Amino acid sequence: MTVDVREGRERDYLRWQRRTDDAARLRAGFEAVELYPPASDDDHSWVVVFRFGTVGELRGWLDSPDRRRLLDEGRDLFSGPGSQEILAGDPPDQATVTAVVAHDVRPGHEAGFLAWQEKAHKVQKATAGFRGYELFRPVPGVQERWVAVFRYDSMRHLEEWLGSPARRQLIDDGQAHITGFDVRKVGSAFSGWFRFGEARGSDEQAPPSWKQAMMVLLALYPTVMVLSITVSDALTGARLPDFLVFFIGNILSVAALTWLLMPLANRAFGFWLVPGVARTWRRNALGAALVVACYGLALLVFGLTTA
């Protein structure tokens, strides 16, 4: 789902989104939720991806009284109605950036539209960084538009395709079959902390999302613990209000992660993280085991020091 958040209401939106996520987690079939912030300062569109085991379970969440209540409560946070697509398929097995293109196909032009999409796919397969393509047909009563999903290895390669003369020519060729379309881009949730391009000769490459999540947890847990038992306690003792204590703590933790801990973690685990490096399942297992061992060491240290 894509929503346009009113300028200045981002903090209120994030609180509302957390409550919405918590409500979704209680539904049957819930698997995951992902939140992607705007790609630039001029963009106010936030993309939320809810993953459920089946389309029926997802539909049950979308039509639930709890979700309708939350939408009513959050209505003034958005500058207009959101848009959503319901897609059935597997999530990508590697870190990618994704474009979701929803098409309004002219009645009676379905065959021509499919032929046009196949032509576009053949052209796209030859472009740099292309990782995959899927086309989802409408589902009556659930999803009325035709949705194409294509993935690239970096935002740079995706932008090159979206702005290419070849794509502009394809769009011109397809006007006979569609009345309109819209494009939304979705990137990795943590990719800004995992850039190895300057050292490897390619921009904005990131490891798989599960590795990113493990590394963020590895750096975030000790950061939060250290700040909690030092800075936060000191600020609370100085009688600062809790909301200001948390805000200052968040500033310090984000700064520490961005400019100190994540660069150190990337160097230490580069053998496991850097995209494009040939690796066996043994190397992947070794890297994961080392991260888990670091979790255990951090728990032991803070268990002994805060007991």
Query: What is the CB neighbour count within 10 angstroms for residue 300?
Result: 10
Which amino acid, one-letter code, is at 46? W
Task: For the chain, 307 residues long, give each residue's pLDDT as a single digit of tens.
Answer: 677 888 888 888 888 988 998 898 888 888 777 776 665 566 667 777 787 877 788 888 888 999 889 988 988 888 876 555 545 454 544 456 778 788 889 999 999 999 999 999 999 999 998 988 888 877 665 567 888 888 888 878 888 998 899 999 999 999 999 998 877 766 555 555 665 544 333 334 456 778 888 888 899 889 988 988 888 878 888 888 888 888 888 888 888 888 888 888 888 887 787 654 445 678 788 889 999 999 999 999 988 887 6
pTM of the complete model: 0.41
Residue 204: predicted pLDDT: 41
CA distances from 302 to 213, 276, 299 (A): 21, 36, 5
Alpha helices in the chain (DSSP H): 10-25, 55-62, 65-73, 110-125, 155-162, 165-174, 197-200, 209-227, 233-237, 242-256, 262-268, 270-273, 281-306
Residue 151: predicted pLDDT: 85
Alpha-carbon distance of 289 to 274, in angstroms, equals 17
Residue 113: predicted pLDDT: 94
Residue 203: predicted pLDDT: 37
Alpha-carbon distance of 301 to 229, in angstroms, equals 13
Residue 24 DSSP symbol: H
Residue 203 DSSP symbol: S
137-149 burial string, b = 16+ CB within 10 Å, else e?
Answer: eeeeeebebbbbb
Residue 34: predicted pLDDT: 73
Q: Identify any residues that bridge with 152 across adjacent strands, giving them in sequence order.
A: 97, 130
Residue/partner pairs of 238-242 with CB below 8 Å, 24 or more apart:
none
In the chain the domains, ranked by start, together with CATH numbers, are 1-84 (3.30.70.100), 94-187 (3.30.70.100), 197-306 (no CATH)
